[in-house]
């Protein structure tokens, strides 16, 4: 696992999380290790075909100060997670060359909550009721723009969107910027706040959401034979990435190395994965090749694991065939729901923590596999202590996007 020839090592020196499990790495890690679903009936979705969600349980206050009202909910999550990531990396704002710091953020929907709210105001009260901050809060690039403003950094500032793979795609983009020499530090990950009436109604109309209204805590059940759809979630996951030489020079202690990555497109269907998981398999091969690793080296798979019948079936079959030695498999969506464009960032952060702490959280609500998951070593019931030298994190998205990240122990 020496890494691709000539490729500079990329260190993960900071981690920040805002999720339905709680605000901060400590709260989220405790929640996913407890393996108890956070889904609950959501008053904001009352009257819709599905009224379940996984909400961030408190309002994060990190970053933005008294200006938080100007930001979309997803941007607030991002600022808080980024602040924690920088603190854990022991990087103080201003203690860097601002032109050598990049910001890369993934999102599936931008400030869709802001857009919905302002549209309601327009219809109810006319144009004078619309906030002048609508566009700065809604536009899909503005989460990255606001984070760069808050940090005072002037390096590349980018926002990417590959649906539910967006957070992972942002991390790949950050690695490319680092290895190109355009920056020394990248603050990268995903953020989304799509628990809105329009998004919930649209996903319900597609038949994508769980209808387990009477037992919401068990609604999200990745790879379980009784799964019936995902639960909408929200949050942010941010990593601080640095070129290894830069991190070493300042005495940083990495959590892990982002050793490899792969990104592919299915070119198959707008919303359904390739039936053989061709894009996922190709992305996995690319991630392992860039990490200088073989499938047999993988000790843990953090699965996309949405709890939808089709996605789980395709992913389970691909994972089982890619890794016949049976590495441990988990999906955080049983606890956190599907956080959409944030999922790739959140799950990358959880994979990093599994590598750093040699501990794999359980898959909540997994009781028995269906035929497609038979033979997978799905961690369930309790967190599992195990050696993890190399772990991969899978992220898939509408449009046929597939991103796989490979993390190694330092």
Q: What are phi and psi of 300, to 5 degrees?
A: -155, 140
Q: Is 200 exposed, middle or buried (0-12, 13-18, 19+ CB in 10 A)?
A: buried
Dist. CA 289–CA 286, nearest whole Å: 5
Dist. CA 326–CA 314, nearest whole Å: 17
Do the beta carbons of residue 186 and residue 103 sit within 8 Å? yes
**Which tokens in the block code for residue 353?**
């923590």
As annotated, the active-site residues are 164, 304, 338
**Which tokens in the block code for residue 404?**
């796989």
Among residues 218, 125, 107, 229, the alpha carbon closest in space to that of 173 is found at 107
Dist. CA 297–CA 300, nearest whole Å: 9
Dist. CA 310–CA 272, nearest whole Å: 8
Do the beta carbons of residue 348 and residue 402 sit within 8 Å? no
Residue 410, classed as helix, strand or coil, is coil
Q: What are phi and psi of 367, to 5 degrees?
A: -115, -40
Largest CA distance in the chain: 63
**Which is it for strands 377-378 and 328-330: parallel, antiparallel or unpaired?**
parallel
Strands (E), 289-398: 300-302, 328-330, 359-360, 377-378, 384-385, 390-397
Do the beta carbons of residue 28 and residue 22 sit within 8 Å? yes
Task: Taking each helix axis as running N to C, give the angle between helix 112-125 and helix 73-88, from 0 to 180 degrees, rounded to the nearest 10.
Answer: 150
**Which tokens in the block code for residue 33?**
């290790």
Among residues 70, 247, 239, the alpha carbon closest in space to that of 167 is found at 239
**Which tokens in the block code for residue 386?**
């195990």
Do the beta carbons of residue 103 and residue 144 sit within 8 Å? yes
């Amino acid at each position: 696992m020496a890494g691709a020839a000539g490729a500079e090592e990329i260190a993960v020196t900071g981690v920040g999380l805002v999720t339905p499990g709680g605000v901060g790495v400590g709260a989220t890690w405790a929640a996913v290790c407890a393996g108890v679903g956070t889904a609950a009936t959501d008053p904001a979705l009352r009257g819709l075909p599905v009224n379940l969600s996984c909400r961030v349980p408190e309002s994060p206050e990190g970053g933005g100060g008294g200006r938080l009202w100007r930001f979309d909910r997803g941007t607030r999550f991002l600022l808080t997670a980024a602040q924690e990531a920088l603190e854990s990396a022991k990087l103080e704002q201003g203690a860097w060359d601002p032109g050598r710091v990049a910001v890369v953020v993934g999102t599936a929907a931008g400030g869709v909550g802001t857009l919905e709210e302002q549209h309601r105001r327009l219809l109810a009260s006319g144009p004078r009721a619309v906030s002048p901050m609508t566009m700065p809060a809604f536009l899909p690039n503005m989460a990255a723009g606001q984070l760069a403003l808050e940090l005072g950094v002037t390096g590349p500032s980018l926002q990417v969107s590959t649906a539910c793979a967006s957070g992972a795609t942002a991390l790949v983009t950050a690695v490319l910027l680092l290895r190109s020499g355009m920056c020394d530090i990248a603050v990268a990950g995903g953020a989304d706040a799509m628990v809105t009436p329009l998004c919930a109604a649209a996903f319900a109309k597609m038949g994508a959401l769980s209808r387990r209204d009477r037992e919401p805590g068990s609604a999200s059940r990745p790879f379980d034979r009784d799964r019936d759809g995902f639960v909408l979630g929200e949050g942010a996951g941010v990593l601080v990435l640095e070129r290894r030489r830069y991190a070493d020079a300042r005495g940083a202690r990495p959590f892990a190395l982002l050793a490899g990555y792969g990104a592919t497109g299915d070119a198959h269907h707008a919303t359904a994965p390739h039936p053989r998981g061709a894009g996922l398999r190709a992305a996995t091969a690319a991630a392992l090749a860039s990490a200088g690793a073989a499938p047999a080296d993988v000790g843990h798979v953090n699965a996309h694991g949405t709890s939808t019948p089709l996605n789980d079936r395709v992913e389970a079959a691909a994972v089982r065939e890619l890794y016949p030695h049976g590495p441990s498999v988990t999906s955080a969506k049983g606890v956190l729901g599907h956080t959409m464009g944030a999922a790739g960032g959140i799950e990358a952060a959880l994979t990093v923590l599994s590598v750093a702490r040699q501990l794999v959280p359980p898959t909540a609500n997994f009781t028995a596999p269906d035929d497609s998951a038979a033979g997978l070593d799905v961690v369930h019931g309790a967190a599992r202590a195990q050696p993890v030298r190399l772990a991969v994190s899978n992220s898939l998205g509408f449009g046929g996007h597939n991103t796989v990240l490979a993390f190694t122990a330092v």
